[in-house]
Amino acid sequence: MKNTAPTQAPVELLICTKCRVMDAPCEEDVRPGAHLHAALAGAEVPGVTVRAVECLSNCSRGCSVALRGPGRWSYVYGNLAPEQAATLVEGALKYAATPDGLVPWRERPEHFRKNCIARIPPLDAFDQTEETA
Amino acid sequence: MKNTAPTQAPVELLICTKCRVMDAPCEEDVRPGAHLHAALAGAEVPGVTVRAVECLSNCSRGCSVALRGPGRWSYVYGNLAPEQAATLVEGALKYAATPDGLVPWRERPEHFRKNCIARIPPLDAFDQTEETA
């Protein structure tokens, strides 16, 4: 995997290598997420660091991935299959091309549009705002 | 809401005030998350800043909240009802009492144990580690 990371605020694509696909018993030692991670090992994803992680706590809707970076909204996507590496690359590149992680909904890969598990605003989102409570 | 925030790395409890409860049509202008947020307005949650946010993209399993802070794992919890303010306070205080956001599973409120939507490691989680891909 080439990690060119040209920006000051690099993007990470975290892939859970532990989650099982629900309703698809998996006796293998290697989980679907690990296959997906391996499938990305040769991909060109400039500005994006791909990492294996062990649990994003989205076990009921795995495989799971997260896109995140400093100053950006974090997104968790689920229900991914090992053959969807190209979808992940497309989504990660679009995410990395934004300053804040907010890719317009219609521009996201279809799988991302239909399988967003959650998102969290950037840590500094409220630095300049009033307290709300 | 008192925000004593005694630590250098304050914790935020983000409450989505836009999500509807699934299977419970809501014609009200004020959504369940807004009621939950309002219920916390008088609560004592030392070290935790409570904020209303407009979408955590967990619409199918709302009300949704997120707990997060610098250097901490971020957690998203769902399926919350307005009357669960005390559960949120308990969970937020336990989260804030850890250095990294990792509350042992058995010590979390029961609702948190059963309704964790996703979690994301802290931004600096991989600063000291080798690339994995």
Stated as kind and residue range, the H or E segment containing B66 is strand B65-68
Predicted confidence band of residue A11 (pLDDT cuts 50, 70, 90)? very high
| DSSP 8-state class, residue B129 | S
Give the other-Cβ count within 10 Å of A90's Cβ. Answer: 17
Mean pLDDT of chain B: 85
Q: In angstroms, rounded to a whole number, what is the distance separating the alpha carbons of residues B15 and B69?
A: 14
Mean pLDDT of chain A: 85
Contacts of B64 (CB under 8 A, 6+ apart): A118, B15, B16, B19, B33, B56, B58, B76, B77, B78, B80, B117
> What is the phi-psi region of residue A79: left when phi exceeds 0, alpha when psi lies from -120 to 50, beta otherwise?
left
Q: In angstroms, rounded to a whole number, what is the distance separating the alpha carbons of residues A63 and B25?
A: 31
Stated as kind and residue range, the H or E segment containing A94 is helix A85-96
How do the residues of chain B divide into helix, strand and coil, expressed in percent and rounded to 5?
25, 20, 55
Q: In angstroms, rounded to a whole number, what is the distance separating the alpha carbons of residues A56 and A15?
A: 8
Q: Is B76 on the interface with A (CB under 8 A)?
A: yes
How do the residues of chain A divide into helix, strand and coil, expressed in percent and rounded to 5?
25, 20, 55
Residues of A in contact with B50 (CB under 8 A): 132-133
Q: Which candidate, B108, B35, B34, places its Cα nearest to that of B77?
A: B108
Q: What is the nearest CA distance from B88 to chain A, expressed in angstroms?
A: 14
Q: Do A126 and B56 touch (CB under 8 A)?
A: no
Cβ atoms A9, A69 nearer than 8 A = yes
Does the N-terminal peptide bond of residue A63 adopt cis geometry, omega within 30 degrees of 0? Answer: yes
Q: Quick one: average pLDDT of A62-74? A: 95
Task: Determine the pLDDT at residue B129.
Answer: 47
Per-residue pLDDT at A110 exceeds 90 = yes
- Report the range of poorest mean pLDDT among A92-96, A123-127, B32-36, B74-78: A123-127
Q: Quick one: average pLDDT of A45-56? A: 92
Per-residue pLDDT at B99 exceeds 80 = yes
ipTM of the complex, rounded to two decimals: 0.85
- How many residues appear in chain A? 133
Predicted confidence band of residue A3 (pLDDT cuts 50, 70, 90)? very low
Q: What percent of chain B has pLDDT over 90?
A: 62
Q: Do A120 and B40 touch (CB under 8 A)?
A: no
The residue that leads in pLDDT, B20 or B94, is B94
Nearest CA in chain A to B41: A133
The residue that leads in pLDDT, B58 or A107, is A107
Q: Quick one: average pLDDT of B60-65? A: 90
Q: Quick one: average pLDDT of B57-78? A: 94
Cβ atoms A59, A21 nearer than 8 A = no
Per-residue pLDDT at A6 exceeds 60 = no
Per-residue pLDDT at A71 exceeds 80 = yes
- The one-letter amino acid at A46: P
Task: Determine the pLDDT at residue B3.
Answer: 46
| DSSP 8-state class, residue B35 | H
Predicted confidence band of residue A21 (pLDDT cuts 50, 70, 90)? low
Cβ atoms B118, A58 nearer than 8 A = yes
Q: Where are the alpha helices (DSSP H) in chain B?
A: 32-39, 85-96, 110-114
Q: Do A133 and B1 touch (CB under 8 A)?
A: yes
Q: Quick one: average pLDDT of A41-49? A: 87
Q: Is A108 on the interface with B (CB under 8 A)?
A: no
Cβ atoms A67, A101 nearer than 8 A = yes
